[in-house]
Structure 1
Amino acid sequence: MGTERESLADVRSGALLVVGATSSAGKTTVVSALCRALARRGVDVAPFKAQNMSNHAAVTPDGGEIGRAQAMQALAARVETDVRIGPVLLKPSGERSSHVVVLGREDGVADAVGYGERARLLRPVVLDALQSLRGEHEVVVLEGAGGAAEINLLERDLVNLPLAAAAGLPAVLVVDIERGGAFASAYGTWALLPERLRSCLRGFIINSFRGEVSLLSDGLRDLEERTGLPVLGVLPHLGDHVMLGQEDALGLDQHVFGSRSASSGAGDRPGRVGRPGRAGRPGRVGRPVRVAVIGLPHLANPADLDPLVLEPSVDLRAATVPGDLAEADLIIVPGSRTTVADLDWLRAQGLDEALRECAAQPEGPWILGICAGYQMLGEVIDDEVESGRGRVPGLGVLPVQTTFAAPKVVTRVRGRLAADADVDATGYEIRWGRPQPAAGATPWLELDPAEPGDAGRPLVDGCVSDDGRVIGTSVHGILDSDLLRQKLIGDIAAARGRDFDPLLFGHADALEAHLEHLAGWAEKHLDVPGLLELAHTAVAVHQAPGW
C-alpha cells in the first residue's frame, strides 16, 4: 500500500474539462462560474487552460505571462495566479504568426503551418503543468479552446479532448443556443469525434438560452437518446449583466465597437456601454465625461477599460475616424500587440493629425496613452524586435523616444501619482518597448522598487505634457486604482464642464460582484453537485494514460 502522501495525491486529483461545440460558446464564462461556485462550497479548486490564443495577458507574482481569462478564473477560484494554469499562450503578431509564451516566458515565434510539430513538443509541458496542479488542488476545472471537433487539428490539439484522453479526464460540451443550430452542433460534435475522444464526453451544457426552458424538452430528450449523454443544465442568457475581464478586444466589441461583429464568449453579451444593468452601476449622470477609445486593429489588454465601463460619469465610445473625436473629453490610445502596424493604421485613418490637433488645442480634450498607445504618442519608435522596421516617427505629442529591446519587461508595479503621493496606483507591465522621456519631462507615476536591490533608486513611469492634458503610461490596469481613476475623471469633468458622480464601490468589489453573479447563475441552472461528482471520476494523477 502507498504512503499517506501518495493516498492524498490520489484523492486530490479531481478534474473536469469544459469544451465547446464552437468558438465563443461560453467556455470561459462557464469555467469562471464553476470555479467560484465550487470555491463557495469550500472546494479547493484551480483553473487550467493548456493553450490560449490572446493578446490580453496578465502577470503572475513571479513575472510570468498568462492569459487574462485564466487570471480571472484564478480570482474566481480564490487562488493566486500561477504560470501552470496557462502553460502555453499564443500572442498573435500577424495573420499567420504568433509569439509563443511557455510557462510564462517568451519562447520565440511560430507560424500557423509549422506549429504542429511545436505543439507535439509541448505535450509534456502541458501535461506536467496539469498534473502538478492536480496534485495540489482537490479539483481542477479546465477550459478548452475553439470547437472540440476540429477534425483537421486533432493531431496538434493540446487543449481539448486529446488532452482529456491523455490525462484521463471527463469532459462536458458547452453549446451556444442563441445563434441557432445548437442541437446540430451538439450532435455533430459528438458524431465527428473518434471513439477514443468521444468516450471522454460525459454530458452537455446548453448556454445563452432566451425563453421558456420547457420549449426545449423534446429536443433535449432526443439529444440524450441519440448520444446516450445527459444534458447537465440550460444556462439562460446573461442579458445586460456587464462582463468584466474580457479576454480580448472581440469581447470589447460588444461594449464599444458596435460596428464590428463577434464575441469572446457566448452569453457574454451585455449590451451597449452606459447601460450595464445588474453589475450594480448607478444610473447615468446628466452630462457624463465622453471617452473615445481609439479602435486599434490589434488592440490588446481591453480590460484596461473595464473600470470606465462601470463609472456612471463616463460615456465610452469607439473612435476609428477623426470625426469620432469631435466631442470627446478624453481620448484613450490603448495597448497594441503590433505597435508600429497600428501606428500605420492611425495614419491611414487620419487619426494622427486629429490627435495632434486635439493635443494642441488650449482647452481641448485630454489624451491618455497606455503602453503601446504611450509609445505612439512619443517622437520616435525604434523597433528591431517586434516589427523589424527600425526607426519610425511617432505622433510627436509627448517628448519621448522608445526603443524596443529584449528581454521583455513583465512585472507587476505599485506606486502613486508623482504629483499627489496620496493617490495610489497599481498595475502591470508587459512590453518590449523602453520609453525614455526627454530630460526634464514630467513623469506621471512614482513607482515602488520592484526588487530589494532597487531601494533608494528613483523609479518613475510615464510622461505628462506641460499643460497636463496629455498623459502616457506603460502600466496596464492603471485605471483599476479607484482614487487615481476618479481623480483623473474628476479633473477632466471640471476642466471640460461635465458632470462627475463617481462609482460608489471599488473596481475590486465590482469584480467580486461579477464573479458571485456568475456563481449564482451556475448554481441555479446547472447540476453543480453532479459536475463535482463527475470531476472525481478523473483517473488518479499517476494513472494517466499519457499522450
Structure 2
Amino acid sequence: MIQGTGSNVGKSLIVAGLCRLFANRGLNVRPFKPQNMSNNAAVTADGGEIGRAQALQAMGCRVPLSVHMNPVLLKPETDTGAQIIVQGKRFGTMRAREYGKQKGALLPKVLESFSELESSSDLILVEGAGSPAEINLRSGDIANMGFAEAANLPVILCADIDRGGVIASVVGTHAVLEPDEQDRIKGFFINRFRGDPSLFDDGMHEIAQRTGWQGIGVVPWFSDASKLPAEDALDLSNGEGTGEIKIVVPVISRIANFDDLDPLRMEPDVTLELIGPGSPLPGDADVVLLPGSKSTIGDLAFFRAQGWDIDLQAHVRRGGHVLGICGGYQMLGKTISDPDGIEGSAGTVEGLGLLDIETVLTPEKSLVQASGKHLETGASVSGYEIHIGRTSGADCARPYLHIRDASGAPKLDGAQSADGRIAGTYLHGLFTDDAFRKAYLKGFGAVSDLAYDQRIDAVLDDLAEHLERVLNVDAILQIANSRT
C-alpha cells in the first residue's frame, strides 16, 4: 500500500507508473483504492463507476476496469455533503459528519472487493487517500491505516519535496502514528525532486535514522505528468496548443468528468482556455464548451453569478458555437426540474434557454459505455454516460449522436439548434475518440493527427522507465512479499 504524507503528493501517479512497471515485468497487476473522493469518474463495462485515477492505473496494468478497484467513491455535491458510491452503485447522500460516523460500516464491502481482486492477481498496488497522519480521522478509517490493518498490508510512504518541509512531513507522520502503525510502514520515498537527487542523500539518511524506515529512492520531477488525465479539478490547466481555434471552458464549481478536456489540451491547432470564477468569457472564442457537473442546478446558479450567461448570449449573437456535455447539456435547455429534491430543494429552475429542451432530474442514474456515430459528419464516436435526468423537447428531433450501449440497444442522443451552432449530448469521453475529435475540429479548420490513447500509453511507459531508474524496485517487491 502506498500512503502519503498528505493529499496531492503524487500517490496516484506513482501507483499508475508502478502498475505499468510491474505489468511490463510480466506480473498480473491490479490497482486498488479503498476510498476515493472525486467527481471525475469512469464507467466500468458492467455499469458501475470508479475514480478516474483508478481507470488510469488499470490502463497502466493493461486490464479492464472493475468496480472492485475503487469500492467506495465519494462525489462531492456541496461543501459539506457528497454522494456515496459503493461497489459502483449509488449508496446514498451524506453530510461529512454523518459519513464520518458511518464509514467504518463499509469496511466489509471494501474487504470483499479487495478479496475479489486478490484472487486473480500476482500483485495489488493499493493507494491511500490523504494521509495516515490525519489521526483525527482514524476512528472507523477505511482509507489508510484502518484498511492496511484490516487487510494486513505493508505500507510505503510517499512524500512530496516540491511543497517544502519534506523531512518534517515524514518524521512528523512517524511521530503521530501508533507504534504498530509505525511498524507497518516499511519504507519511504521522496517524490517530485528538482535538480540533482544526490543532494538529498543526507536528508534520506536523516529520515531513515529518525524513523527506522528504509529509503526506497528519490523520484525526480516527471514533466510529462501533465499529459496524463487529471483527477482533481485543482490540477486542471490550459491546453498545450496555441492554434487559431479557441475553445473556452467555464470552470463551474462542481465540474465533473472533465476528462472530456484532456485530448483537446494536446491538440496543436487548438487553444484550450479554462475560465475561472470572476473572469469573463473571452469574446474571441470559436466554441464555448459547457462541461459536466455533479450539481447541475447549483452550478447553473454559479454560472449566472459569474455573469457567464450574459457572455454566452453575446457569444451566440456573434455566431459562436456552443457544446454542452451532460450537465452542461441540461443547462442549455429551457428548464431543469427536480421534483424529488435530489440536488436540494424540490422545484424547477430556468435554464439558459439556448436549446428547446426540458430536463427532469430522476433518482435513477444512467451508467453505460456506448459507441456510435456523429450524425452530422458520420464519424465514429465512443464514450460513456454517467448522469441522472431525462431530457426531451423540440430540439431533440435534431439529435447529436446515434449510439448503442453495451447491450447493443440503439438510441438517439442529444439535441441541436436549427442552425447547428448549439448542441448538447449526454456522452462523456467523446473527444477521446480520435475519429470524432478529428471530424469535429475539421469543421473549424483545424487538423488533428493526435492518437490520444497511444499518447497516454506511451507516457505510462515513460513513467514506468522513470521509476525503474530511480526506485529500489526489488525492495518494493520484497516489502510486498513480506505480507503474511
Instruction: Give the TM-score normalised by structure 2.
Output: 0.96
Kindly state the Cα deviation for residue 481 of structure 1 after the two structures are TM-superposed.
Answer: 1.1
Matched, 1:412 2:357: no
Secondary structure of 2:163 counterpart: coil
1:475 counterpart residue number: 427
| Displacement of 1:216 | 0.8
Partner residue in 2 for 1:337: 294
Match of 2:351 in 1: 394
Alpha-carbon offset, residue 440 of structure 1: 6.5
Q: Which residue, out of 351, 372, 384, partners 1:428? A: 384
Superposition deviation, residue 322 in structure 1: 6.6
Residue deviations 1:200-241, cap 9 Å, x none?
101111000001112111111111111111110100112354
Distance of 2:322 and 2:440 partners within structure 1: 11
* Structure 2: distance between partners of 1:323 and 1:94: 24
- Residue by residue over 1:484-528, the C-alpha shift from the partner in whole angstroms, topping out at 9 and shown as x without a partner, is 1121112123xxxxxx232x3411111101211211111111111
Letter aligned with residue 536 of structure 1: N
Which secondary structure does the structure 2 equivalent of 1:61 belong to? coil
Q: Does 1:230 pair with 2:175? A: no
Which of 282, 289, 292 aligns to 2:248? It is: 292
Equivalent residue letter for 1:501: V
Query: What is the match of residue 185 of structure 1?
Result: 169
The count of corresponding residues between Structure 1 and Structure 2 is 481
Amino acid at match of 1:468: G
Is the 8 Å Cα contact of residues 281 and 308 (structure 2) preserved in structure 1? no
TM-align CA RMSD: 1.5
Offset at residue 533 of structure 1 (A):
2.1
**Stretches of structure 2 lacking an aligned partner (at least 5 in a row):** none
Match of 2:131 in 1: 147
Structure 2 distance, partners of 1:79, 1:426, is: 19
| Whole-Å separation in 2 of the counterparts to 1:107 and 1:440 | 32
**Offset at 1:356?**
2.0
Shift of 1:425: 0.6
Q: Does the 8 Å CA contact 1:46/1:133 hold for their aligned counterparts?
A: yes
Tell me which moved more, 317-326 or 229-238. Answer: 317-326
Structure 2 residue 275 is the aligned partner of structure 1 residue 325: no
What is the identity, as a one-letter code, of the residue corresponding to 1:236? Answer: P
In the alignment, what sits opposite 1:280?
A: none
Q: Which moved more, 1:436-445 or 1:212-221?
A: 436-445
Aligned to 1:308: 264
Q: 1:166 aligned to 2:150? A: yes
Query: Aligned partners of 1:30, 1:243: CA distance in 2, in Å?
Result: 14
- Equivalent in the alignment of 1:50: 34
CA contact (8 A) 2:227 2:456 kept: no
* 1:361-380 alignment runs, 5 A limit: 361=318, 364-380=319-335
The 1:449/1:141 distance shift into structure 2, 3 A limit, reads closer
Q: Identify the match of residue 175 of structure 1 among 137, 147, 159.
A: 159
Cα deviation code 1:86-124 (max 9, x no counterpart): 000011111111110000010111111121331111111
Normalized against structure 1, the TM-score is what?
A: 0.85
User: Where does residue 104 of structure 1 map in the other structure?
Assistant: 88
What is the alpha-carbon distance in structure 1 between the residues aligned to residue 140 and residue 80 of structure 2?
16
Could you tell me how far 1:245 is from its partner in structure 2? 1.8
Q: What is the alpha-carbon distance in structure 2 between the residues aligned to residue 518 and residue 240 of structure 1?
A: 8
Distance (whole Å) between structure 2 residues aligned to residue 439 and residue 233 of structure 1 = 58
Match of 1:264 in 2: none
- In structure 1, what is the Cα distance between the partners aligned to 2:405 and 2:94? 35
Aligned pairs (5 A) from 1:9-48: 17-48=1-32
Give the distance between the partners of 1:345 and 1:95, measured in 2 at CA: 14
Question: Shift in Å at residue 242 of structure 1?
Answer: 2.6
Match of 1:490 in 2: 442
Q: Deviations over 1:285-326 (max 9, x none)?
A: 6x4211111111111112110000111111111224574321
Report what 1:355 is aligned to. 312
Q: 2:71 aligns to what?
A: 87
* Counterpart for residue 506 of structure 1: 451
How far apart are 1:182 and its partner, in Å? 0.1
Report the secondary structure of 1:119's partner residue: helix
Asked if 2 retains the 8 angstrom alpha-carbon contact of 1:338 and 1:387, the reply is no
Cα shift at 1:450: 4.3
Render the CA deviation track for 1:17-71: whole Å, top value 9, x for unaligned.
Answer: 0000011110000100100000000001000000001111111111001111111
Task: Check whether the contact 1:248–1:300 (CA below 8 A) recurs between aligned residues.
Answer: no
- Equivalent residue, structure 2, for 1:214: 198
Determine the C-alpha separation between the residues in 1 that align with 2:395 and 2:222. Answer: 51
Given that residues 280 and 307 in structure 2 are in contact (C-alpha distance below 8 angstroms), is that contact kept between their aligned partners in structure 1? no
Secondary structure of 1:198's match? Answer: helix
Q: Is the Cα–Cα contact under 8 Å of residues 248 and 301 in structure 1 kept in the other structure?
A: no
Kindly indicate whether structure 1 or structure 2 has the higher relative contact order, using CA contacts under 8 Å at least 6 residues apart: 1
Q: 1:516 aligns with which of 461, 465, 474?
A: 461
Aligned partner of 2:267: which letter?
E
Deviations 1:134-153 (A, max 9, x none): 12101000000001210100
Matched AA of 1:462:
G
CA distance in structure 2 between the aligned counterparts of 1:449 and 1:196, rounded to whole angstroms = 49
Q: Which residue of 2 aligns with 1:445?
A: 401
Structure 1 alignment gaps of length 5 or more = 1-16, 257-272, 275-283, 494-499, 540-547
Partner of 1:60: 44
Tell me what 1:119 maps to.
103
Check the 8 A contact 1:399/1:441 in 2, yes or no.
no
- Letter matched to residue 377 of structure 1: L
Question: Structure 1 41/240 Cα, relative in aligned 2: closer, same or farther at 3 Å?
Answer: closer
Shift in alpha-carbon separation, 1:360–1:505, aligned structure 2, 3 A: closer
Query: How far apart, CA to CA, are the structure 1 residues paired with 2:193 and 2:395?
Result: 58
